[in-house]
């Protein structure tokens, strides 16, 4: 009996937890899986990513004291062509500021065209004759008419010798009015003429007379 071998239950190891069972089957631990899932969900995606980027830009701009996309005081509005990276020639729409491609008043277009074609001087001369009554006044325009304008000299015909004398006295004021109406340098001096006396010569032969007998004015 003492020398007989002991017969007992073979000892084997029983797993203590589900960790070893998971390692035997090749699966990861539950704690590690939950940690990986939390890390993946904590990263912003889609719309949240855009909001996070915008918030970061606002914070950086706040530290500099500016707003994202704000225009510095004193800088003209260009429609954002220098920041958008687009070719200005291919851009179809202008920005909210002033742009040369915006609709212009018709009078401004005509003025620019007259300047480019060299019509400014002729148009100014025409305004002197067309707006004569407005430039010098209705009373003076009734007794004085512009006759010609050559090289800045305006020839004016008065209705009488008295008005011719009056216009010579008012010549400086008339030049100032004309310059204010049509521009400086258009009329620089005036030549005042009295009324033309009628001719008493009749026929091809005549003898010297005693001169004009009336000034007709």
Mean pLDDT to the nearest integer, 34-48: 59
Distance from C-alpha of 77 to C-alpha of 68, rounded to nearest angstrom: 15
Q: pLDDT confidence of 132, banded at 50, 70, 90?
A: very high
pLDDT for the residue 72: 57
- 178, 128 Cβ separation under 8 angstroms: yes
Distance from C-alpha of 173 to C-alpha of 66, rounded to nearest angstrom: 57
- pLDDT, one tens digit per residue, over 189-207 is 999 998 876 666 777 877 7
pLDDT for the residue 7: 46
pLDDT for the residue 91: 56
pLDDT for the residue 115: 74
Distance from C-alpha of 178 to C-alpha of 135, rounded to nearest angstrom: 6
> Looking at the DSSP assignment, which residues form a beta bridge with residue 146?
156
Q: What residues does each domain of the chain span?
A: 120-193
Output the DSSP codes for 185-210: TS--EEEEE-PPPPP---SS-----S
7-16, 60-69, 104-113, 195-204: which range is least confident on average? 7-16
- pLDDT, one tens digit per residue, over 72-131 is 555 555 544 444 455 555 555 556 666 677 777 877 777 777 777 777 777 778 888 988
> Looking at the DSSP assignment, which residues form a beta bridge with residue 149?
154
- How far is CA 33 from its chain centroid? 63
Q: CA nearest 135: which of 75, 176, 76?
A: 176
33-42, 159-168, 208-217: which range is least confident on average? 33-42
Strands 189-193 and 144-150: unpaired
Q: Domain 120-193: state its class.
A: alpha beta
């Amino acid at each position: 009996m003492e020398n007989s071998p002991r017969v007992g239950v073979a000892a084997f190891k029983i797993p203590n937890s589900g960790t070893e069972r998971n390692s035997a089957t090749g699966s990861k631990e539950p704690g590690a899986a939950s940690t990986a899932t939390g890390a993946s969900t904590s990263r912003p995606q889609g719309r949240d990513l855009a909001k996070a980027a915008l918030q970061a830009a606002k914070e950086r701009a706040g530290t500099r004291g500016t707003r994202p996309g704000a225009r510095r005081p004193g800088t003209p509005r260009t429609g954002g062509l220098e920041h958008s990276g687009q070719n200005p020639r291919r851009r179809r729409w202008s920005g909210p500021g002033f742009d040369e491609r915006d609709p212009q008043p018709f009078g401004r277009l005509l003025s620019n065209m007259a300047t480019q074609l060299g019509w400014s001087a002729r148009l100014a001369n025409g305004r002197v004759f067309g707006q004569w009554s407005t430039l010098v006044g209705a009373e003076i325009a009734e007794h004085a008419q512009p006759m010609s304008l050559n090289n800045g000299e305006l020839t004016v015909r008065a209705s009488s010798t008295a008005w011719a004398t009056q216009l010579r006295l008012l010549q400086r004021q008339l030049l100032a009015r004309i310059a204010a109406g049509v521009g400086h340098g258009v009329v620089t001096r005036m030549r005042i003429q009295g009324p033309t006396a009628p001719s008493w010569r009749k026929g091809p032969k005549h003898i010297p007379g005693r001169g004009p007998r009336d000034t007709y004015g």
